[in-house]
Amino acid sequence: MKRIIIIVEGITEERFVRKVLHPHFINLGIHLEPEQWITNRKTGDSGGGSNFDLVENHIRRRISRYSKDSDTFLTTMIDLYAFPLGGRTVYDDEVKAATRGVNRKYLLEKKMSERFNFYRFIPYVQLYEFESLLYSDILKLATFYPDKNNEILELSSHVAGLNPEDINDRRETSPSHRIIKFIPF
């Protein structure tokens, strides 16, 4: 069976892979394994962070671990929004000069692919914050939060009439922050 390790930013992406993508792909003979990158090996903290070195170290450890396993592939699920820039980042002058987000996304994927130079590593940068995808049918949040129907309805009313791409204008109103406002973790 083929396996794809998906290195994700946080718990929301991890749940999405486990609950939405995994059931579909397992029927195709592909096992998906999401994992948040390690931000502190001593404490075991994972996910998020603003330092690309943490992401890079995690990816390199996985490449080393699975380099001889030809049935295992590696990818990422990292939002372009608040992409981790600290450390030895791939976000260089060429990426900064790209005028459109989609250009930055493709440049980052290309630079990550070149940096790791491992044919079974296929980087993926999500153009919009992952949580913006949830707004295409906000009531589906009940799948993840069955006990939060009232909160989900309030959130739905709050964003009624907005396109998912239009709710990503600043930190306080980004898709994830709007969700957390109504459905605190």
pLDDT digits (tens, 9 = 90+) for 31-83: 999 999 876 666 666 666 677 888 888 999 999 999 999 999 999 998 887 77
For residue 120, pLDDT beyond 80: yes
Q: What is the pTM of this model?
A: 0.78
pLDDT digits (tens, 9 = 90+) for 155-168: 999 888 876 656 66
Among the listed residues 121, 127, 184, 122, the one whose alpha carbon sits nearest the alpha carbon of residue 155: 184
Q: What is the 3-state secondary structure (H, E, C) of 17-60?
A: HHHHHHHHHHCCCEEEEEEECEEECCCCEECCCCEHHHHHHHHH
Percentage with pLDDT > 90 across the chain: 38
Quote the crossing angle between the two packed helices 175-182 and 149-158, to the nearest 10°: 140
Among the listed residues 106, 54, 56, the one whose alpha carbon sits nearest the alpha carbon of residue 80: 106
Domain-by-domain residue ranges, the chain? 2-126, 131-182
Q: Name the residue with higher pLDDT: 141 or 123.
A: 123
CA–CA distance, 159 with 88 (Å, rounded to integer): 37
Among the listed residues 79, 182, 185, the one whose alpha carbon sits nearest the alpha carbon of residue 130: 79
Lowest mean pLDDT among 14-23, 72-81, 153-162, 167-176: 167-176
Q: What is the pLDDT of residue 144?
A: 79
